[in-house]
Amino acid sequence: MIRIANVSRNYGTVRAVQDISLEIGRGEIVGLLGHNGAGKTTLMKMLTGYLEPSQGSITVGGVDVVEDRQSVQRQIGYLPESAPLYPDMLVQEYLQMMAALRGVPHEKQPQAVARAVSATGLETHVVSPISTLSKGFRQRVGIAQAILHEPDVLILDEPTNGLDPAQIQSIRGLIRRLGDSTTVLLSTHILQEVEAVCDRVLVLIDGTLAEDSPLKDLINSSTIKVSVLEGTTGIERSLGGLDGVRKTYKLGSDPVLSGFDQWAVDCDAETSRSPEILAAAIKAGWTIGAITPETLTLERVFQRLQREHIARSAS
């Protein structure tokens, strides 16, 4: 659906995006994650035809965004970080105008507006001036204008920025529903946003693509934490010799269980090694406080990627 090949974008002497290549298939919900200034908005603007790449190529549905920008834009619904709204217009008036601008045939515009209103939960606000809406409902109007023409691709730049918790939950639910029929690319610097709605994660750091993985693979860990009574010996030798164990090392005192040390056991397979670890502990006569699989968060993964990026840049 989307193909990005060796794309870079320069602003004078500053390279905002550096040699990015990736593909996004039909029906994926993909999170574009990165700190402020990482290049997320620049990449999205190139995808939508608002900026041209300094080098490389971008195609959407097989159409090159530089060679045939309008054909690409017909396939895309776009919500920029600041929703393009006219506060003095009624919601219905604004959506009717946007339907016409999107090229929806005149006779189909009422149905297109009604469908977008229903999808975004705006039924009770269609005759309200946009200026009277809360920020959450203005975001809904921004998403409604992006889906009027039933695009194949929906690009959302920071869709929940500045919303309160209830509004954020509502917009996340809306994005998940839209993802049932549309390819969604969601840009954010909020890690919980990606965890809540996305199937796949792209991480940008200083304009480079640092990670491209399914979310479940990115946060999956093959490390098991074992809490053993303080003073126990032979742990590294016993657990390190088990099949499928790559490395065993001490983490320090258990933060929860007083009098216990916590050890990490890195395994090389997805199959849990907890039964083998427990059997080895029983055989050795150890006192075990807990055996738990390590749970990763996107925050920890993102911190690791940043450390690795800094190390590569320094070398």
Contact indicator for 133, 92 with CB cutoff of 8 Å: no
Q: What is the set of domains in the chain, with CATH numbers?
A: 2-214 (3.40.50.300), 223-293 (3.30.70)
pLDDT digits (tens, 9 = 90+) for 54-106: 999 999 999 999 999 999 999 999 998 877 899 999 999 999 999 999 999 99
pLDDT digits (tens, 9 = 90+) for 127-141: 999 999 998 899 899
DSSP state of 190: -
Q: How far apart are the first and last CA of the chain?
A: 37
Contact indicator for 41, 92 with CB cutoff of 8 Å: no
Q: What is the mean pLDDT of the chain?
A: 90
Q: Which residue, among 50, 44, 146, 152, has the nearest Cα to 98 in the 3D structure?
A: 146
Task: Residue 6: count other Cβ atoms within 10 Å of its Cβ.
Answer: 12
Q: Produce one character per residue of 43-57: b if its CB has 16 or more CB atoms within 10 Å, e if not.
A: bbbbbbbebebeebe
Percent of the chain having pLDDT more than 70?
99
Beta bridge partners of 148: none
Q: Please compute the mean of the pLDDT values over residues 37-44 and round it to a whole number.
A: 91
pLDDT of residue 51: 94
Q: Which residue, among 225, 228, 262, 222, has the nearest Cα to 246 in the 3D structure?
A: 222
Q: Please state, in angstroms and rounded to a whole number, the distance separating the CA atoms of residues 248 and 265.
A: 5
Percent of the chain having pLDDT more than 90?
60
CB neighbour list of residue 231: distance below 8 Å, 6 or more residues apart: none
pLDDT of residue 47: 94
pLDDT of residue 294: 82
Q: Which amino acid is at 35?
A: H
pLDDT digits (tens, 9 = 90+) for 243-253: 888 889 999 99
Q: Please state, in angstroms and rounded to a whole number, the distance separating the CA atoms of residues 113 and 109.
A: 6
Q: Is the pLDDT of residue 176 over 70?
A: yes
